[in-house]
Amino acid sequence: MKIDKTTIKKISHLARLEFDESSAEKMSKDMSQILDWVEQLNEIDTENIEPLTTMSSEVNDMREDIRGNHLDHEAGLKNAPKRDSDYFRVPKVMD
């Protein structure tokens, strides 16, 4: 499948990307190659193939959830450098 410059300009506008003419030409070639590769994949018969859920054959070693003791509210806040009644005070991250 051939991706022309008009399509590249539309995609770059939607993705908020800027390309000069040489970069747009290279992007057009690269995207065309990717779409050709995907078309080749679509030709493969996958009728009796189980879908992959992971690329690893390892099995997670899960532990059993065990309910245990936890800190009460006051004990959790007592070592906080700054607090505001029931909450930790932290420096502002965003304006």
31-46 confidence digits (pLDDT tens): 999 999 999 998 999 8
**Residue 52 has what pLDDT?**
83
Average of pLDDT values for 51-56? 82
Asked whether residue 19 is domain-assigned, the answer is yes
Asked whether residue 49 is domain-assigned, the answer is no
Asked whether residue 20 is domain-assigned, the answer is yes
SS3 84: strand
Continuous segment of H or E residues that includes residue 88: strand 87-88
* Mean pLDDT for all residues in the chain: 86
Beta strands in the chain (DSSP E): 83-84, 87-88
Identify which has the larger pLDDT, 46 or 54: 46
Instruction: Work out how many domains the chain is built from and give that number.
Output: 1
Structural domain range at position 9: 5-42
Average of pLDDT values for 57-86? 83
